[in-house]
Amino acid sequence: MADESVCEATGKPRWLSYLENNLLDDVDVDNDQRAILAVFRVMLEAPAGDASAVASTSQKIVQYYHGEFLGNSEQVQSWTDRGVMVYINEVAGLALELAAEVLFPGPEHDKLARFFIAIRDAGPQAFGIKEQDPSFELYDTAVGTAVEEYWNRCQVPNRETDADFKTRCEESISIAALFAKFLEADMLTPRIIQFAAILLGEALGTAGDKGWKPTTQLGKWCQVAIAMPYILISGEAVAHHVRSPAAKPLVYPCGREDWKAWIAAFQRLAETLPEEAEWGLKEDAKKACEKMQVLLPESAIE
């Protein structure tokens, strides 16, 4: 069986081929972006067990901001707090471009998730914001702005009969899993709960007529695989919002009745999915069903 993490045309890891042949070949990618990509390349090429790779990368990203990035433009220097947000969003956007090209689960995916969390944990003070200025937008929003723009990547790709459909599904699954890791780390705005409810409701058939409905078997499996991380990775965070719902009603609800419906849907999938279903869906559906009943025992199937 072919290694799906490797680009057939180049024999290199998929993310590396994308970096070299798409990002670096793009004339619109500027010198700052190229420097940031070079830092990410070192991190992703580091051995899986290299515990220092993520910390080193986050330090280099902070150092580049204070050095070359601020030094390259008088306009950027005059932005102060807005310059921080511009830079962090640039970094986040490039990291997400690479995240779509790594397989989940996998060490590269884990490194990128931990990098985002490390930058969040560094806080605005690492970028020279000395005090909590009331006019300064929340630091998490600086990270979240770029991230939330990628939510549409957490969808079943269109053109389900194309030869590369499975590869594009895996890109969507990777981004969805990254979002789930962000949600579990409490690093994004509350709107992400809405995203989780949308994906779970659409994938499990509890959203009624709302949302995209794939027409092929692989597309339907992909939709479930995209939603799965919101239980297996960030189930605790979603369950918290089910127990303590937002004051403002959501367009897509995320309440106890929805939770029960999702449990029942995962149970049906665990019983009916064929063993050959892609991405280990049958076993994951069983795990999701069991985990949801542990997280909210009052919703357990009798």
- Token reading at 99: 């995240």
Q: What pLDDT score was predicted for residue 146? A: 62
Nearest to 204 by CA among 141, 270, 152, 138: 270
Q: How far apart are the first and last CA of the chain?
A: 42
CB 97 within 8 A of CB 150: no
Q: Which residue(s) pair with 231 in the sheet? A: none
CB 57 within 8 A of CB 115: yes
- Token reading at 49: 């067990």
Q: What pLDDT score was predicted for residue 35? A: 96
Residues of the chain with confidence (pLDDT) below 70: 1-4, 73-82, 130-146, 148, 189-191, 207-211, 249-250, 253, 302
pLDDT tens-digit readout, 28-48: 999 999 999 999 999 999 998
Total-model pTM: 0.90
How far apart (Å, rounded) are the C-alpha atoms in residues 24 and 211? 35
CB 211 within 8 A of CB 223: no
CB 233 within 8 A of CB 184: yes
Q: How far is CA 118 from the centre of its chain?
A: 15
Each domain of the chain, given as residue ranges in start order, spans: 6-149, 190-302
CA dist 90 → 30, 35, 85, 247 (Å): 11, 12, 8, 33
- Token reading at 137: 């937008």
Q: How far is CA 87 from the centre of its chain?
A: 19
Q: How far is CA 14 from the centre of its chain?
A: 18
Q: How far is CA 143 from the centre of its chain?
A: 12
Q: Which residues contact 68 (CB under 8 A, 6 or more apart)?
A: 32, 35
- Biggest distance spanned by C-alpha atoms of the chain: 66
- Token reading at 5: 């993490």
Q: What is the DSSP letter of 109?
A: H
Q: What pLDDT score was predicted for residue 14? A: 94
